[in-house]
Amino acid sequence: MRYFDSKVLDNQQVADDIFVLRVERNGAEAKAGQFYMLKSWDKELTLMRPISVFKAEKDELWFMYRLVGKGTQRLSLLEKGASIKLLGPCGNGYPCEKLSGKVAVVGGGLGVPPLCETSKQLTHAGVTVDAYLGFRDVLFGVEDFEPWCDSIFVSTEKGEEGYKGFVTDLLKPEGYDCVITCGPEIMMRKVAAMCAEANVPCYCSLEHRMACGLGACLGCSIRTQNGMKRVCKDGPVFLSTELLWNS
Ligand SMILES: Cc1cc2nc3c(=O)[nH]c(=O)nc-3n(C[C@H](O)[C@H](O)[C@H](O)COP(=O)(O)OP(=O)(O)OC[C@H]3O[C@@H](n4cnc5c(N)ncnc54)[C@H](O)[C@@H]3O)c2cc1C
Ligand code: FES
């Protein structure tokens, strides 16, 4: 992990409040499921903002983010050539190199983008990947999964695109050697419960408010079956069997 300056290559709005930011990679590492702390401000805001790696291209890091508050609003204003500070790669990421056979990646909302790089790294590790991608109404990023996935299942809540309902309605964990999930906690809890019933290992990527992103402030600590863990350093990826969920 290192702190470095980079340059914005592109920052495009791709859906209502969703943006894709491309920055110079400067040799930075990016394991599937890891994230970077980003900052394009000096004094107005104190903290960097955690955003997952959407794609790690040869010379570029791509991030997909939703505009929700002051920090992501500042990011959305960045133009080509602007300076941006990065800290990372942060967190443990998914153990793609240890997986084999057939894996399902299950994403919901802004949990979808990190699963794109994950699908790529799984494919490179010789794993067959199916993607289950759930959205509220508008799809984003789906076509980016096409090179890496055998099958892609899409759902929207009211059926605007794909299956009408939740993506968990489509998932049958017993058909997979492992399930990887990222998205709203309510969705991941459901996926974890389905996997437990089918006796299939399940990795979940947790989201938590973060301050340092380094493992130093303990602000992102959660209780787990194995004691207190920092989401930024010991996670964000945890085996579902380790999680207590309501801590
Ligand atoms: C490991 C990890 C990966 C993430 N990956 C993505 C991603 O790929 N795309 C994406 O759109 N969002 C992602 N998020 C959520 C994103 O970090 C927040 O939406 C963002 O920090 C909000 O900042 P803000 O200033 O715009 O909003 P505000 O609500 O104004 O933020 C105020 C403070 O709360 C923190 N905060 C607010 N919401 C969250 C949140 N959900 N998670 C963590 N900190 C939060 C901010 O960092 C900031 O310190 C991720 C969060 C984590 C923990
Ligand atoms: S955010 Fe500081 S320890 Fe995780």
81 with 148, same domain: the answer is no
Q: Is 228 within a domain?
A: no
For residue 45, pLDDT beyond 60: yes
Ligand 2 contact via 201 beta carbon (within 6 Å):
no
pLDDT in tens, 102-138: 999 999 999 999 999 999 999 999 999 999 999 999 9
User: What confidence score (pLDDT) does residue 198 get?
Assistant: 98
pLDDT in tens, 61-111: 999 999 999 999 999 999 999 999 999 999 999 999 999 999 999 999 999
- Tell how far the Cα of 229 is from the centroid of ligand 2, in angstroms: 10
pLDDT in tens, 212-235: 999 999 999 999 999 999 999 999
Question: CA 112, 73, 142: angle at the middle one, nearest 5?
Answer: 20
The structure's pTM equals 0.96
Out of 74, 90, 106, a domain closes at: 90
85 with 100, same domain: the answer is no
120 with 82, same domain: the answer is no
Q: Is 216 within a domain?
A: no
Ligand 2 contact via 230 beta carbon (within 6 Å):
yes
CATH number for the domain that contains residue 74:
2.40.30.10
Ligand 1 contact via 50 beta carbon (within 6 Å):
yes
132 with 85, same domain: the answer is no
pLDDT in tens, 7-18: 999 999 999 999
User: What confidence score (pLDDT) does residue 60 get?
Assistant: 97
- Tell how far the Cα of 90 is from the centroid of ligand 2, in angstroms: 10
Q: Kindly give the number of the ligand 2 atom that is closest to the alpha carbon of 218.
A: 3
Out of 73, 90, 107, a domain closes at: 90
115 with 165, same domain: the answer is yes
Query: What is the identity of the amino acid at 17?
Result: D
User: What confidence score (pLDDT) does residue 7 get?
Assistant: 98
pLDDT in tens, 141-159: 999 999 999 999 999 999 9
Q: Domain range for residue 27?
A: 2-90
- Tell how far the Cα of 72 is from the centroid of ligand 2, in angstroms: 19
Q: Is 148 within a domain?
A: yes
For residue 5, pLDDT beyond 90: yes
User: What confidence score (pLDDT) does residue 46 get?
Assistant: 81
For residue 247, pLDDT beyond 60: no
DSSP characters for 150-212? SEEEEEETTSSSSEES-GGGT--GGG-SEEEEES-HHHHHHHHHHHHHHT--EEEE-----SS
